[in-house]
Amino acid sequence: MQTTQIDQIKKRLMGLDSAAISDAMDSLHIPAGLAGIVPRSNVGIKMAGPAFTVRYEPIIPEQGKFLNAGNYIDEVPAGYVIVVDNQGRTDCTSWGNILTFKAVQKGIAGSVIYGSARDLSEVRRLEYPLFTTGVYMVSGKNRAKVAAKQCTLDIGGVAISPGDWIFADDNGSLVIPQQHLLTVIERAENVDKTEQAIIEAITNGEDLVNAREKLGYAVPWKAVQ
């Protein structure tokens, strides 16, 4: 996908929220939400971008041998979201301050970690979008290693392939399969319009039941008539 296309898609997604996108995904019967992966950054931060996927595997520490797990970041293009599957580990981290600084320097859109992170004060100081299942202080060095890059991940039953789009905000994070991207965006924009129309109607005195029925709340991904 060309940079111009990425920028155009990102602009449309950043005008939405994860709730509208989730409803659009529901309309297509596609699982999207990455359960348990929650924001660790400043309130109000959003992120959107194509996925650069990384899968970790555990290792047994060897005395006197050093293994650094995070050098993959040099390969991640600007504008992408790093998605790390560290098996949801709570005993060590796969993200910290050095990776955060490098990600900001490179213009990476954010990170989703199925596992733990540390150095949250630095993450928040740099206003870097970070979403994880856990927080812990113990390093992943000599405890985990990169097993594969740019591979399909399975996080909680949701598949994430390289190039799928990741969106995250205060509600959590989700994945949009690239083959459904434009349909999902269009439907999510319609969901947003439908909900705004309902809010406007009840603001003007309409009963909620009537407003929902009249404005198509049962199928909000269809354009408001």
Distance CA 38, CA 42 (A): 12
Residue with tokens 């399909």: 152
Q: Is 119 annotated as a binding residue?
A: yes
Distance CA 69, CA 52 (A): 16
- The DSSP bridge pattern shows strands 110-117 and 130-135 to be parallel
Q: Is 30 annotated as a binding residue?
A: no
Q: Report which of 17, 41, 6, 205 is spatially closest to residue 119, judged by C-alpha positions.
A: 41
Q: Is 97 annotated as a binding residue?
A: yes
Residue 170 corresponds to which tokens in the numbers above? 């205060």
Crossing angle of helices 181-203 and 3-14, rounded to 10°: 20
SS (H, E, C) 136-150: CCCCCCCCEEEEEEC
Q: Is 55 annotated as a binding residue?
A: no
Q: Note every long-range contact of 96-101, with CB atoms under 8 Å and residues 24 or more positions apart, other chains counting.
A: 96/139, 97/122, 97/123, 98/70, 99/70, 99/73, 100/126, 100/128, 100/130, 101/126
Residue 220 corresponds to which tokens in the numbers above? 């909000």
Q: Is 199 annotated as a binding residue?
A: no
- The DSSP bridge pattern shows strands 144-149 and 47-58 to be antiparallel
Provide the annotated binding site for substrate. 96-99, 118
Provide the annotated binding site. 96-99, 118-119
Provide the annotated binding site for Mg(2+). 119
